[in-house]
Every structure is written in structure tokens, then in C-alpha cells.
Structure 1
């Protein structure tokens, strides 16, 4: 792909974003909501412009031999444009996360204290091949009163630029400053590196993409990072698991959208359950064209399974491949997750409430499920509206990050002359 080195001035964009963030503080919730609705309308109206730009990226992807999973993440359609436009409308219906009084009290000296939510300020969003993130992140940022600087991957440069141009056109017809949405229209790595280090202008970085991208941001940024994580997610089928539930959950978690981070990559199976229900499991794998990579015991009962080892247990396949690990008990299952999990989403299928409680207490992950698919680890599915990422860290925000994750707190004190 030809590298695009435009005359982008990243620092100037950051300065403009910071000024716009101040203006956003003066706008009402109604004004922000009205702008989000208008953004949605204009995106839908201009979908042909967006799809034409997307086709350039898709052609480049085909020329470079991108994987099917990667092309799925990159691809847009009229329906997908409609979906992310509707995501903006859904965000507009959510409560404004800013200006909320979390607690208030009065000190013995009469000083009144309030703890309130406020925007973070300027968000730097660094992401890879999903053009929908351009819209989702913008909607969440604007609703929560934040300006945003978008740095998408080179594979989606044309799509992202077209989307932002349409959004700027729409914002010019609202009370929101278009400068609140900045797009770094360059594939030059130096532009990204510059964004990493502008602490004086950027308040937080959010990387969203593969492990290498996230690691690069965490290791090189001097701006605080709200870290998202890759999804090596597990389904543990306990010895008391209902067969119908187990098969249905596994199939959904693996095949609904294999290329997303909340898809299951490893099926952990209790040895007794596997031996009793191998025929049903084999039929499910066959029907869904799932390629199995299994340990020695599982290969003895699962047809056409390939040998699995350390790389398979650690792999985020992002395809219809799945690793199968046999365990003797729930302790073995939890130990395997502890070794290979990414603290994203983990599920147990069991009719034993005590086993479920043990799993939910001891497994360290942002999202845990009992008798349900990991595919629900998603902002939209959990009622947050659009999602800016899924945090696997433990500070500030964890799990699917919606509007509340884009706020921080401020203490407001009111007195009548108190001194210390």
C-alpha cells in the first residue's frame, strides 16, 4: 500500500481539539443529543460516498491478500452504515454521564463538598481495521463532552477519512464544533508516535485492535492509556453441564462472529462430560465446519482434530478454529484460564450452582458468564449504546466501556470564608 504522508500537523490538531473540548463544556445535553441525531441522519444520507471510499480499502485488502476475518472487519455496507448511525441515536437516548453528583457532604467547619462527574477532555483513539469505530468512538466522546482525535489503521484510511468528512459536514450544522472531531489523515507511523507523547494536549489514549497495537501504545505512550485487551476467551463445560445448553453456547460463542474479541477461542471440557457426549460434540463441530485443535485425550474422541499445544492455548484464532482442552475438574479449568486467559470474557456451563459460584469468584476477567455466551461482552448488547472498547485492566474502567468510562471526577467545594 502506498504510504500517505500528508501535511498533517498533529500538534495543531490536538490544540484545536483541546479548545473544542472547552466549548463542549458549555453545551446542554439537548444540544449534544440533537447533534448526534443530525450526525446519524447525514451519515445515512451520504452512505454512497462512504461505501465508495470503503471499496478503495477493500480493493487494497484483496490486492494484499488480507484474511477473510480482516476483510470482514474492514467491510462496510448500507446496512452497516445504518447500524452505526442507529448507534448514535441510541447513545443520544442515554443519560448524560457528566454533571452527576456522586456524593455530597458538609465538613464540621461548614465547607460543602460535592463529588461530580466531568469529561476527560481530549481522547486519542488509536484503532485498526474497523471503520465503525470512527463513528462509535465519536458518538460516545461527544455525548460525554469530550473532544476526540482519531487515528485509524492504514488499511481503512479512505473509509475513515470519508466518514469524518461527512461528520464534519454534519457538525457544521449543529452547535457542536467540528474541531471536536479530529482525524489524523496519514499512514505515517511518526504521526501516531507524536500522538503518544502530547501530554499537554491529550488527556487519555484508548488503543483498540490487536495485541501488537495495544502493546505498542502501552509501552511507548507518555499520555495515560485506558488499555483494552485481546480476547482469548474460554467456554468451560463442567461435568454437570446440560448438553443442549453447552452445544448452543459453544456454537454461538465460536461462530456468530468469529473475528471479534468476545468470540470463544478455547473449549475447556470436563473429561467425564466429553466421554459421555463426544458424539453430540462431534456432530456440532461437523455441522458448523469448526476445525478443532485438541490435546491428546480429546483427539481420541474428537474426529479430525489437530494436535494442540502452547501456541493453540494462547492463540486468538479469529476464525472458526477452536482449541479443545480436557480437564479433570474445575480447578484444572480455572488454572488453564489463569495461564492463558487475557482477562476478557470467560464462561462456565454447569447445572451445579456451587461450581458456578467458584468459577465466578476465582476467575479473573472483566466479564464472567454462567450458562451464557461470551458474545454478550459488548456495549450494545449490555445496553451501553455504542462501545469505545473493552478494558481488561483494573484501574478506572473494566469491561465494555460506554459513556461512564469517558468521565472522571471533580471535587467542588463551597464555603463562607473557611481557612485551614
Structure 2
């Protein structure tokens, strides 16, 4: 008798559960080996992985071209295509990021603090790897390399589940990285890419409590929402980047124009891109601030006072103030000073990255102190919201929650700690 659609779906889910369990158990075994490897050996394996990625550049770029062609045929947005696209320069940047991670200090084994109790017992908190980490991500093939490098450097095994739009790129990058890592003595199962694009695999990863120690989602709001709603594994959430830049009345005009233009248009498809520009009503030249954006082809949507500045500014809807566009669209609001700016950001920010341009030190310090975001900037473009730019080598993502890690998550964010207690025969009275 033919199975029903419901039975077929159940069987598929069961097979994905079996697959994820098998991969996770292999990852656990590999992680134990990886954690015992001396730090210099792990670093050397990553250097070899970077070299292997450079050697594989023709294969990776050919695979990426297949993904780009499929994305264009399937109507991917320009922002998504930009995230997906690789060229020689971007691929070299990915390889260099792997090499940079190899050169970073290894946090594992660091003694966070040490105390001696009155009874003579010595207590230490020591950093250790988290274990097996699952990364669920969309579009960006660089995440395959960044996640692998960071996890290996910190002694973690990783299960990677990339999006279907980057499937060929991810497989080519993964194959090159693993070849280099294995040459350096790292077990192949320490870095595994799920061999399927079946969506049931995501559900199986989210349900793999006890097999996967932490899930990191990197993608759109719907992906992160699903992960947070369904996961039985702890989640390190990377939410959307609805980022604001506030131009105070005291801002230097040339600096304000340069930062606003860069924050929005350097790369519109990254999570650090500015999505809302707030301008103090007393700023002396709002038109001069907005003209370069309009001239560069950016669509502006604003409130009534912003629209009065230039007839090319379209009316903003309520939804616009909460939208991560990831393209050349910007919402513009006129606010009555720092209090109004802070209130607007508190209502609409996704708590990713928010910035102020100001020369008034008191206003700047209020903004830095009172904006409750993972990254708060003064007189700098929000496009710097990136682990590499923070000197972290690379990043797993930018965490916008409050627990464990916040902001760009790199090596330290991929560790936990344990207590080491050394006694000399003490017993508790």
C-alpha cells in the first residue's frame, strides 16, 4: 500500500534525524581529538587550510558562478546576489581570514581567575571549547570558511548547514578547507557540511539536544525566528541589522556626509549597513547631508519633515522604520535632539549596531551610555560592525542578545569554562 504524504514526510524527517545524529557523533569523536591537539598544531592546520583554499580558487569560483547563475534565474534580489558573489579579491579575503584566525591567540586553557580559599583549596576558572557547534546560514559562502576556522582554532567541531542558493560554493570551499586541515592532522569529521539541502535537516539539528551543544543561525529574520522558536539546543542568535546613524546638531558636516554615504552604500547587503538616518532638527545643512545619497542612487523614504528637505524623498510607512532593507533604500527621520533620537532608537533598533556623529562630548557620551545595542559607535561608519575589523580575525556572527556573548562572536565567544579545584586533603565540616 502506498504511503500517505504524512507518512512520507515522517520517514524523511526520521532519515534526517539519523543523518544528523551520525554526523554529530562523528563530530563529537573528532572534537575530543581536536581539543587534545596542541594549539600550535591547530594553528598550522589552519594555515594549510588557507593555502588549500587559495590553490582551489579556480574550482571555488567556477562553483560560485553556477550559484550566481541559478540565483539570477530564480530571481534573487541584488542584495542577496551581492552576498553570494565571489571574485578573486573576495576569495583571497576569505583565505586570508582563515590565516588570520590561525595567528590569533588561542583562548582555550586561559585562566580567567584564580582564588585561594581560607582552607587552602586553589580554585581556577579555565576556558575550554564548547564542543560541537551547529551553524545554519544563508547566502554567504564566506561563512563556511569563517565558521570552520574559528571553531577549529577554539577546539570545537562544527556541523555546517548552508543555504541552497550557495550550495556549490559551500561544497567547494568545504572540500578545500578539509583537505588542508587533514594535511595538518585535524580529523575530517571536525568540520562537516551537511550533504543535503532538505529542510528537515534543519529541524533535526534544532532537535539534537545532547548531540549539538550550540546552534548559531546566520540569515534573515524568518530563519532566526524559526531557530529560536524550535530549538531544543542553546542558540546564539544573530538578529537582523536595523541599524541607525544619528547626526547631532554638533556634527562636523564633512564627517557626517562621508559617514552617512559609507554606512549606507559601501555594501548595502551586509548586516552592518545603516538602514535609518536620524537628523537633528537643528543640524544646519540637512540637504547637503542627503544630496550625496540621492546622487548615488539611494532611494530615501522619510517622515514629513524629511520630505520637506527634498521633493525626491518618498513618504515612509510605519513598516519602513523596522525594515532591514539590505539594498539602496534608506529611511530618514528628523528628530528633536538627543532625547528624541534615543527614544526612536529604543523603539525601532534591532540592537545590532547604532551610531552617532557628534562633536558635543556630553551628547556623544549619553548616546554611547544609553543606547542598548551590541555595538554602539561614535564618529564612525556602522559598516565597521565586523569581527575582522574589530581585530578578531573573523566572526561566527554578531550576537544581539544579552547572554554568553554579545557583538562580534569570535574565538572567546566559542568557549565556555570549567572550574579546577586543587586541594591537599580538605574535607568539609
Work out whether the TM-score is over 0.5: yes
Q: Which of 53, 78, 81 is the equivalent residue of 1:68?
A: 78
Once the two structures are TM-superposed, the CA of residue 179 in structure 1 deviates from its matched residue by: 0.7
Give the aligned partner of residue 4 of structure 2.
Answer: none
Q: Is the 8 A contact 2:279 2:286 kept in 1?
A: no
Report the 3-state secondary structure (helix = DSSP H, G, I; strand = E; otherwise coil) of the residue aligned with 2:282.
helix
Aligned residues: 414
Give the aligned partner of residue 54 of structure 1.
Answer: 64
Give the aligned partner of residue 413 of structure 2.
Answer: 405
Q: Is the 8 A contact 1:296 1:307 kept in 2?
A: yes
Give the aligned partner of residue 359 of structure 2.
Answer: 351
Distance in 1 of aligned mates of 2:181 and 2:45: 7
Q: Which of 309, 314, 317 is the equivalent residue of 1:306?
A: 314
Q: Is the 8 A contact 1:314 1:341 kept in 2?
A: yes
Q: Is the 8 A contact 2:52 2:176 kept in 1?
A: yes
Distance in 1 of aligned mates of 2:372 and 2:182: 46
Q: Is the 8 A contact 2:61 2:87 kept in 1?
A: yes
2:384 is aligned with 1:376:
yes
Once the two structures are TM-superposed, the CA of residue 283 in structure 1 deviates from its matched residue by: 2.5
Distance in 2 of aligned mates of 1:278 and 1:202: 51
Give the aligned partner of residue 92 of structure 1.
Answer: 102
Distance in 1 of aligned mates of 2:182 and 2:272: 37
Report the 3-state secondary structure (helix = DSSP H, G, I; strand = E; otherwise coil) of the residue aligned with 1:90.
helix
Q: Is the 8 A contact 1:366 1:399 kept in 2?
A: yes
Distance in 1 of aligned mates of 2:170 and 2:266: 26
Q: 1:272 to 1:67 in 2, by over 3 A?
A: same
2:19 is aligned with 1:12:
no
Output one character per residue of 1:182-225: Cα deviation in whole Å (capped at 9) or x when no partner: 11121111111000011111110001111111111111000000
Give the aligned partner of residue 301 of structure 2.
Answer: 293
After TM superposition, the structure 1 stretch with the greater mean CA deviation from structure 2, 352-361 or 33-42, is 352-361
Q: Is the 8 A contact 1:148 1:180 kept in 2?
A: yes
2:229 is aligned with 1:219:
yes
Once the two structures are TM-superposed, the CA of residue 90 in structure 1 deviates from its matched residue by: 0.6
2:212 is aligned with 1:202:
yes
Output one character per residue of 1:295-321: Cα deviation in whole Å (capped at 9) or x when no partner: 011101123011012111011111111
Give the aligned partner of residue 155 of structure 1.
Answer: 165
2:370 is aligned with 1:362:
yes
Output one character per residue of 1:220-277: Cα deviation in whole Å (capped at 9) or x when no partner: 000000111210000101111111111111001001111111110000011121xx31
Q: Is the 8 A contact 1:241 1:350 kept in 2?
A: yes
Q: Which of 137, 143, 146 is the equivalent residue of 2:147?
A: 137
Once the two structures are TM-superposed, the CA of residue 164 in structure 1 deviates from its matched residue by: 1.4
TM-score w.r.t. length of structure 2:
0.94
2:332 is aligned with 1:324:
yes
2:417 is aligned with 1:389:
no
Q: Is the 8 A contact 1:50 1:159 kept in 2?
A: yes
Report the 3-state secondary structure (helix = DSSP H, G, I; strand = E; otherwise coil) of the residue aligned with 2:351.
coil
Distance in 2 of aligned mates of 1:15 and 1:146: 13
Report the 3-state secondary structure (helix = DSSP H, G, I; strand = E; otherwise coil) of the residue aligned with 1:25.
helix
Distance in 2 of aligned mates of 1:301 and 1:173: 61
Give the aligned partner of residue 268 of structure 2.
Answer: 258
Q: Is the 8 A contact 1:282 1:303 kept in 2?
A: no
CA RMSD of aligned residues (A): 1.4
TM-score w.r.t. length of structure 1:
0.96
Report the 3-state secondary structure (helix = DSSP H, G, I; strand = E; otherwise coil) of the residue aligned with 1:13.
helix
Q: Is the 8 A contact 1:157 1:185 kept in 2?
A: no
Q: Which of 74, 80, 92 is the equivalent residue of 1:82?
A: 92
Give the aligned partner of residue 248 of structure 2.
Answer: 238
Once the two structures are TM-superposed, the CA of residue 287 in structure 1 deviates from its matched residue by: 2.6
Once the two structures are TM-superposed, the CA of residue 122 in structure 1 deviates from its matched residue by: 0.5
Report the 3-state secondary structure (helix = DSSP H, G, I; strand = E; otherwise coil) of the residue aligned with 1:41.
helix
Q: Is the 8 A contact 1:54 1:156 kept in 2?
A: yes
Report the 3-state secondary structure (helix = DSSP H, G, I; strand = E; otherwise coil) of the residue aligned with 1:356.
helix
2:394 is aligned with 1:415:
no
Q: Is the 8 A contact 2:256 2:289 kept in 1?
A: no
Q: Which of 116, 131, 137 is the equivalent residue of 1:127?
A: 137
After TM superposition, the structure 1 stretch with the greater mean CA deviation from structure 2, 142-151 or 71-80, is 71-80
Once the two structures are TM-superposed, the CA of residue 330 in structure 1 deviates from its matched residue by: 1.0
Distance in 2 of aligned mates of 1:247 and 1:315: 23
Q: Is the 8 A contact 1:278 1:302 kept in 2?
A: no
